[in-house]
A and B are shown apart, each in its own frame.
Chain A
């Protein structure tokens, strides 16, 4: 509420300043947003929410200009950062780095030219290149499904896991998952294989799990895209021993399934919404308009999505 009143006050002040001193408009925030191109659903969501933020925030704040650039790879993103800095002359940047190490120097250069830098999700290898860091909670992303599965199975059963692509982010999630299972000695993690956050690979890996293990109680798909492949493989093998399929990230299809409650195996999900780019842009823009700083680290919490709260996470217009 306070932020709302502050925002109104700010808008009023800005409007007044704009009306009385058109030649001396208050210092504008020229915000650059640099994100990876929409090459998979999650990045599709990131692109959608970034554009949504531009639409909402530019309408709300007259002194805000947002420029969004999408890059297909790390070198392209580095070039775009240069352009944003020298051509667009941004004074604030929200960047979702393609790779941590490769983008550290280019981001540091933008900061050296005086722009305020917020890094989203994938961190930089040198944190002095950023002013603020906004991310999803990867530990909770692994912890919450493990707790849910343990509770639903009554502390006893066989579990298999599908991992994403071999990255530190994936290790963090897997470690958090394993840490919970340690407290439940009767739950056996039979195996964890990479399925690359990809439906097709998840289909194959699950087929092979089903061949190999005669009794599986729960599958941690660790991603909603992969969960689609998992469900199809179970359907094809006509197996009915699997009681839980737990995805991750809160894709709209999966959230809809939870709302409808049609599939008993899909009772919950954990949020890791691409909407955090929206939050990062909003937080950065509004702080800069007030000349304030963000806290060094903001973690957008990952929470358990169940039938009760699913509608808060359902965004039918988002591609994700």
Chain B
């Protein structure tokens, strides 16, 4: 619709947009939607409650964003490649449960509680990678729609957690819990560990997406899978890797999550998949794939947590309407950066 997007030849749907044909600033403006939204929200938050702008509050918000944010970075790759993963919340819950069971078992069995915790953390990432690999193989080699595969595993993962937990909660033994706690509660240079991890994951994600051949393949496949295939891109391998990357991200998020409450129950990670997908989309990535940005995703994830933080810090809106406020903000921000699709 905007005139500056007209090109002489009709572009095929979903074609990769070419920056050099367009004025860069308009594109940049569109990409700023989430940033503008976040800034407006922060101003509103400060006006409504002076405690909003404190360092402690900012750290609280960033720390709780870390889980969804890290998952969203992985999700960004999957969505850019044209896929989707609905199972991440259930996967995180199952990994959390498995890690807790493992540490509880390995702590006394191995005689070294610290070793048990370290191995538990490694297990989280390995399990994530394995689950991601299973998704990738089913989707590419098994030729099943990603929506269907991950819809299936969404149920499978959570059912197994419920089974292991006997419908209740799996809880980390007290001493082991104290040993593991610093991973969530400690700070380095005044910044909580989860925030550091979030920053590192985001930077690595950004570098992979924008500075490597693999990153370009991901975008090319999302733009037009057939063309990518003709261009001798190993489509299956690239796709499988996106799901493995996402699985690793879920594993990292979970290894940060476990020490927070030291327990996993069947409500753990409920609706995380939608929060992660919302963060990616609010951040300006097109749901049908092809193009997207890690920075946008990070901003999108922070934006979502800021909304609920502001709602908790104020009481001007009826508590019944909290979810509506979140919905409105998501739609407004998406409106601010329309035109990128």
Residues of A within 8 Å of B265, CB to CB, are 40-41, 199, 225
Majority SS at the chain A contact face: helix
Of A4-12, A201-209, A303-311, which stretch is located at the interface?
A201-209
A200 in the interface, Cβ–Cβ < 8 Å?
A: yes
Contact A39 B165 (CB under 8 A): no
For window 305-320 of A, CB contacts with B under 8 Å fall at: 318-320
Q: Assess the A228–B313 pair: CB atoms within 8 A.
A: no
A87 within 8 A of B: no
B27 within 8 A of A: no
Bound-complex Cα distance A245 to B235 (A): 55
Which residue on chain B has the smallest CB distance to residue A199?
A: B261
Let me know if B210 is at the binding interface, CB within 8 A.
no
Contact pattern, B 93-105, Cβ under 8 Å of A = 1, otherwise 0: 0000000000000
Q: How many A-B residue pairs have CB under 8 A?
A: 97
Which of B166, B260, B267, B311 is close to A319, meaning CB atoms less than 8 Å apart?
Answer: B166
Place the interface of chain B in its size category: 20 to 34
**B309 interface contact, C-beta 8 A:** yes
Asked if A148 is at the interface (CB within 8 A of a chain B CB), the reply is: no
Please measure, in the bound complex, the distance between the C-alpha atom of A38 and the C-alpha atom of B266, giving whole angstroms: 8
Which of B266, B311, B319 sits near A163, CB closer than 8 Å? Answer: B319
Determine whether B341 belongs to the interface, using a CB cutoff of 8 Å to chain A: no
Interface of chain B residues 255 through 283 with chain A (CB within 8 A): 260-261, 263, 265-268, 270
Of residues 283 through 320 on chain A, the ones whose CB sits less than 8 Å from some CB of chain B are 318-320
Interface residues of A in 149-181 (CB under 8 A from B): 163, 166
Contact of B167 among A48, A199, A200 (CB under 8 A): A48
Partner of B168, one of A193, A194, A319: A319
Q: How many residues of chain A are within 8 Å of chain B by beta carbon?
A: 37
Complex CA distance for A208 and B312, rounded to whole angstroms = 6
Complex: how many Å from CA A134 to CA B197? 50
Q: How far apart are the CA atoms of A48 and B166 in the complex, in Å? A: 8
Minimum distance in angstroms from B283 CB to a CB of chain A? 21
What are 11 contact pairs spanning A and B, CB under 8 A?
A40-B265, A45-B168, A48-B167, A198-B267, A200-B260, A204-B309, A207-B64, A209-B312, A211-B313, A228-B263, A319-B168
Excluding A40-B265, A194-B319, A198-B267, 9 further A-B contacts by CB distance (< 8 Å) are A39-B162, A41-B168, A44-B166, A199-B265, A203-B260, A204-B308, A211-B54, A225-B169, A253-B171
Closest 6 pairs between A and B when the two form their complex, measured CB to CB:
A44-B167, A319-B168, A38-B167, A208-B312, A319-B166, A44-B168
Binding site for B on A (CB under 8 A): 37-41, 43-45, 47-48, 163, 166, 191-194, 197-200, 203-205, 207-209, 211-212, 225, 228-229, 232, 236, 253, 318-320
